[in-house]
Structure formats: structure tokens, C-alpha cells
């Protein structure tokens, strides 16, 4: 279809971080832009405003609840530092939830204002393709809308997965979509899954003093460095989170008092088990929001297993003027900053005469478990797979954060690992950090790794004393040496 025939230069389907970034960048480049966004309520009826997963049911409420739990731990440490705090201080879920939910609603409003300021047309409708340039949608009142655009960007993200083979899973369980909008405490909770979503939620629930159990089918934090993953779960266990390992769910039954009777199979003990919980939280992965878009009608191809949209390095789908970014795209990290950057760069390529592609190598991230785990680059397993065991050098250390000393807090899982090429300069392939403020620590080092920093350069970098981050530049013990990796003194 010739340019100028369509109503908009760009239509973005999806009002999350990536979609909004793409839309705003295109508008700033002088283009006529529309955003179509609609939140299908969860099976429990939870819905939210503009901004996508991260803002409403992901990173933002997750980090704030994590911080609330960290404050609880600080209160337990406070008497050792001279603060006359009661030994047991109860947590008020309702008060915390109201504060967080009000903040999220303010962000929803802020995004609406940003769209208005840029004259971006916002459609709160659920749409599907009619043809390659036309999307049809219906709003809550039943009003139909047809939108045509020269370019279409699909940025619909994903939603929590529910198991198909567990009786009562959708009827009685909740997901992270629901947890962050609960008005009352979830009480005794079973978290099913070993993803970062599962462990983060279980971590702060335990921090609030709730009886929390995690059910793990196979391994924790699949895709992450497994030595680090086991340290994370070991610390959670030491803090009171219970783990059911090598177990799979069978069914849920609702009791008259609204509690849930849960049946599962313990494959290690080869027996069936049951217990009663107030809440069952599903955290067994996510599915892309591609259903209902009518993609087959226009020839947009999906990955046969993941059902994510197949894209090339230009974020282009199998249809030339239709693009996909963020969690809905096959092979992309499911992280907010990557979606935002990908969206901005795509808009610039489409309308700003730029040719810069998104670089998905060495993307830093952090798992906000009670003891945070931050990383950038390759895991030890992946580095060994690519370069061989004799081709890498691994520097590591257990350390004790200064703030842990006075309250005598356990630091046995505070650990750093730097994976390097085993050559003269020893380029850093991956950096892994478990400890307080891991995200803040890794963010700075991520620049070095992105720029090809070497172990030799790291050794010339002065640490800031006394910080946990300085332990990274002090690394000198290799796994190959078999020396004790426990750091002592200054």
C-alpha cells in the first residue's frame, strides 16, 4: 500500500515498556503514531492500566515488595546497631499494598499524559489483524474501530503460564498478575516453580513473616549460572523459605474455609503428598500474547514450540512492514531495558535514517531474591561449553559485607565469580555477584564487560573502601588453584 494512504505512519500494538518507547521515539521524530493496548483480566479477574507487565505486575511492584522485606530484615539488625526496636514487628500487607498500588496508578496516568503530549492516539481496545496494514478492535462498550498504518510493531509481551494438567489450577491458584494487586495478605503460600519470578516472590513473602514454600520440579533459575542459583536457594532456605524438591503438582481442592488442599507427587521419595495452604501462586513460566492477533491471517510466522514471533536482527517478522519487539519475540531476553532500547532503535531505523541494530550480548540483570544475584555475560557452564574447561579461568571469592558484621548476619552465601578467557590478557566473559545491592554493583561493571574489559584491567582498578563492590576488583584466587576462596580482613 502506498505511503500516505494509511491513517498512521506507525501503529504499536501493546502499551508496555517496549511499545511505549517505540511509539514515543517515532512521535519525537515527527511521525503520526497510534498505540493500541488492552489488558485481558487474569483468570481471577485482575486487570490494570497502561504501562505493561513491568510497571503493573512485574519489576516495579516486585522491587518495592522486595525492599519492604529488606526493611524488615534491617529492623531485626537494628538493635545490634543501638536502635531500641521491638524484637518482633508485624508487617501490614494492606498498608504496603495500598502504597505500592497507588504509585503504580500514578505511573499509569503519567504514561497517558506522555502520549497526549506527543499527540499519540491511544486506543484502549483489543485488536486483531484484518489485513497486512489494518487492525480491527472492539472496546468495552462494543464500539468497533479500524486502524490502518504503514508500519506495525507488535509489543504485546507475555502473561503467566498455567499448567494444563493440574486440576483446579486456574480456578483456585493465582499468578504474579494477581499477587501484586491483592488487598489482603496471601497468608500461608505455596509458590510453584523455580523461575526468578518464583524465587523473588517467595523471598519477600518469607521476609514478611509468611509461611512460604517453593515447589521445584527440576533446577532453580534455569538459564542462570547454576552454582550461583544454588547459593541463592541455600540462603533462602536459611532464612526460612521451605523447598519441595523434585516435586510436581497433582491437583487443588477448595475447602469450606476457603483454604486450598494441595496434592503433589514427590518423585525423590516416590510418594503422593498433601498439605493445606491459603494461597497457591503459579510461577511456572510465561506465554507470549500472540493468540487473538490473527497473525496467521497476514502470514506472521511463530516459533512452533514457544509460539513467540520469529524475527530477524532488524526485529522484522516474516511480513516486511510488521515488526515485533520485547518478550513476544523469539530469542530475546525477557527484560524491560532490552525492550525499551529495541523499541527506540527500531523507531530510529524506520524514521530517523539510522541503521543501528539492538545488541543482545552482555545484557546485565539482577534477581531480587533476599540476597540479590546480579550478573552480566556468560555463566561458567556456557563459557566452558564455548571455550572448553582449559580455555577459561574462573576467579572467585566468598566475602563478608561490612554491614553484616555487627549483627553477626550469616554471609556464607555472599560470593563473587569472574569468568575469563585463559589467555594473556584474560578478557572477562561473565561476572556474577551475590550480595546486598547486587544490581547497583553489576550495573557499573556491565559497562566494562560490554567494552571488552580484561582481568588485567580489572586488577588495575581501585576499589571503593569499604564496599562489597570492591571485592570484585580484589579477586585473585582461581578455582584451578584449589585455594580457599574465603576473603579475610581488609
CATH value at residue 389? 3.30.390.30
State the DSSP string of 213-269: EEEESS-SSTTS-HHHHHHHHHHHHHTT-EEEETEEEEEEEE-TTS-EEEEEEETTT
347 lies in the same domain as 410: no
Q: Tell me whether residue 111 is in a domain.
A: yes
User: For 214-250, what is each residue's pLDDT tens digit?
Assistant: 999 999 999 999 999 999 999 999 999 999 999 999 9
Q: Which of 208-217, 235-244, 478-487 has the lowest mean pLDDT?
A: 478-487
Domain shared by 58 and 203, yes or no: no
Distance CA 378, CA 362 (A): 8
DSSP, residue by residue, 351-391: HS---PPP--SS--EEE-SSS-EEEEE--HHHHHHHH-GGG
The average pLDDT across 247-271 equals 97
Question: What's the pLDDT at 489?
Answer: 57
The answer, yes or no, to whether residue 2 has pLDDT greater than 50, is: no
pTM over 0.85: yes
Shared domain for 334 and 462, answered yes or no, is no
What average pLDDT does range 294-312 have in this prediction? Answer: 97
Residue 86 binned pLDDT confidence (cut-offs 50, 70, 90): confident
Domain assignment present for 122: yes
Encode pLDDT of 405-440 as tens digits. Answer: 999 999 999 999 999 999 989 999 999 999 999 999
Q: Which residues of 142-167 are buried (b: 16+ CB within 10 A; e: fewer)?
A: eeeeebbbbbbbbbbbbbbebbeebe
Of the residues 351, 385, 406, the one at which a domain ends: 351
Q: Is residue 2 in a domain?
A: no
CA angle 323, 325, 331 (to 5 degrees): 110
Same domain, 66 and 154: yes
Q: Do both 36 and 79 map to the same domain?
A: yes
pLDDT at 163 over 70: yes
Same domain, 50 and 66: yes
Query: Is residue 143 located within the same domain as residue 14?
Result: yes
Find the domain containing 426 and state its range. Answer: 371-481
Q: Which of 67, 267, 321, 465 is catalytic?
A: 465
- C-alpha radius of gyration, the chain, whole number: 24
Check if 465 is active-site. Answer: yes
Domain count, the chain: 3
For residue 1, being part of any structural domain is answered with no
The 10s digit of each residue's pLDDT in 145-161 is: 999 999 999 999 999 99
427 and 339 belong to one structural domain: no
Q: How many residues does the chain have?
A: 490
Are residues 184 and 155 part of one domain? no
Position 209 in a domain: yes
**In a shared domain, residues 175 and 155:** no
488 pLDDT higher than 80: no
| Strand, coil or helix: 186 | coil
What share of the chain has pLDDT > 70, as a percent?
98
Domain-embedded: residue 360: no
Is the backbone peptide bond immediately before 416 cis, with ω within 30 degrees of 0?
A: no
Residue 141 maps to a domain: yes
Q: Please say if the pLDDT value at position 1 is more than 50.
A: no
Residues 334 and 235 in one domain: no
- Which of 316, 351, 386 terminates a domain? The answer is 351
Based on the fold, state whether residues 231 and 263 are members of the same structural domain: yes
Q: Is residue 85 domain-resident?
A: yes
- What is the domain-level CATH number for residue 146? 3.50.50.60
Give the residue among 188, 137, 172 at the shortest CA–CA distance from 34: 137
Last residue of a domain, one of 232, 262, 283: 283
Amino acid at each position: 500500500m502506498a505511503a500516505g494512504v494509511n491513517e498512521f505512519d506507525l501503529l504499536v500494538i501493546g502499551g508496555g515498556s517496549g511499545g511505549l518507547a517505540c511509539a514515543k521515539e517515532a512521535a519525537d521524530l515527527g511521525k503520526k503514531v497510534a498505540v493500541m493496548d488492552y489488558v485481558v483480566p487474569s483468570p481471577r479477574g485482575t486487570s490494570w492500566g497502561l504501562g505493561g507487565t513491568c510497571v503493573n505486575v512485574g519489576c516495579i511492584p516486585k522491587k518495592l515488595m522486595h525492599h519492604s522485606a529488606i526493611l524488615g530484615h534491617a529492623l531485626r539488625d537494628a538493635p545490634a546497631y543501638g536502635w531500641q526496636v521491638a524484637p518482633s514487628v508485624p508487617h501490614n500487607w494492606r498498608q504496603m499494598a495500598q502504597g505500592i498500588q497507588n504509585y503504580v496508578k500514578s505511573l499509569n496516568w503519567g504514561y497517558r499524559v506522555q502520549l497526549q503530549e506527543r499527540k499519540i492516539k491511544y486506543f484502549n481496545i483489543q485488536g486483531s489483524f484484518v489485513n497486512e496494514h489494518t487492525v480491527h478492535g472492539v472496546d468495552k462498550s462494543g464500539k468497533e474501530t479500524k486502524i490502518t498504518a504503514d508500519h506495525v510493531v507488535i509489543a504485546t509481551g507475555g502473561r503467566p503460564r498455567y499448567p494444563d494438567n493440574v486440576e483446579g489450577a486456574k480456578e483456585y491458584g493465582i499468578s504474579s498478575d494477581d499477587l501484586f494487586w491483592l488487598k489482603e495478605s496471601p497468608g500461608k503460600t505455596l509458590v510453584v516453580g523455580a523461575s526468578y519470578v518464583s524465587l523473588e516472590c517467595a523471598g519477600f513473602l518469607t521476609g514478611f513473616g509468611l509461611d512460604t514454600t517453593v515447589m521445584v520440579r527440576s533446577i532453580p533459575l534455569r538459564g542462570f549460572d547454576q552454582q550461583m542459583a544454588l547459593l541463592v536457594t541455600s540462603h533462602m532456605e536459611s532464612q526460612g523459605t521451605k523447598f519441595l524438591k523434585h516435586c510436581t503438582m497433582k491437583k487443588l481442592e477448595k475447602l469450606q474455609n476457603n483454604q486450598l488442599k494441595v496434592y503433589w507427587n514427590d518423585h525423590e521419595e516416590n510418594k503422593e503428598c498433601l498439605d493445606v495452604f491459603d494461597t497457591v501462586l503459579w510461577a511456572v513460566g510465561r506465554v507470549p500474547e500472540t493468540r487473538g492477533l490473527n497473525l496467521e491471517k497476514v502470514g506472521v510466522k511463530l516459533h512452533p514450540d514457544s509460539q513467540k514471533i520469529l524475527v530477524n536482527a532488524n526485529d522484522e517478522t516474516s511480513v516486511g512492514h510488521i515488526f515485533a519487539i520485547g518478550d513476544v519475540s523469539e530469542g530475546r531476553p525477557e527484560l524491560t531495558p532490552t525492550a525499551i532500547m529495541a523499541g527506540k532503535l527500531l523507531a530510529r531505523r524506520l524514521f530517523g535514517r539510522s541503521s543501528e541494530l539492538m545488541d543482545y550480548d552482555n545484557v546485565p540483570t539482577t534477581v531480587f531474591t533476599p540476597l540479590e544475584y546480579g550478573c552480566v555475560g556468560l555463566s561458567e557452564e556456557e563459557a566452558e561449553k564455548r571455550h572448553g574447561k582449559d580455555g577459561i579461568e574462573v576467579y572467585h571469592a566468598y566475602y563478608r559485607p561490612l554491614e553484616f558484621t555487627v549483627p553477626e548476619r550469616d554471609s556464607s552465601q555472599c560470593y563473587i565469580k569472574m569468568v575469563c578467557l585463559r589467555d594473556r590478557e584474560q578478557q572477562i566473559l561473565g561476572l556474577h555477584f551475590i550480595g546486598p545491592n547486587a544490581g547497583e554493583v553489576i550495573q557499573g561493571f556491565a559497562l566494562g564487560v560490554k567494552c571488552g574489559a580484561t582481568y588485567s584491567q580489572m586488577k588495575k582498578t581501585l576499589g571503593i573502601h569499604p564496599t562489597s563492590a570492591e571485592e570484585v576488583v580484589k579477586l585473585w584466587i582461581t578455582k584451578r588453584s584449589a585455594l580457599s576462596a574465603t576473603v579475610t580482613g581488609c
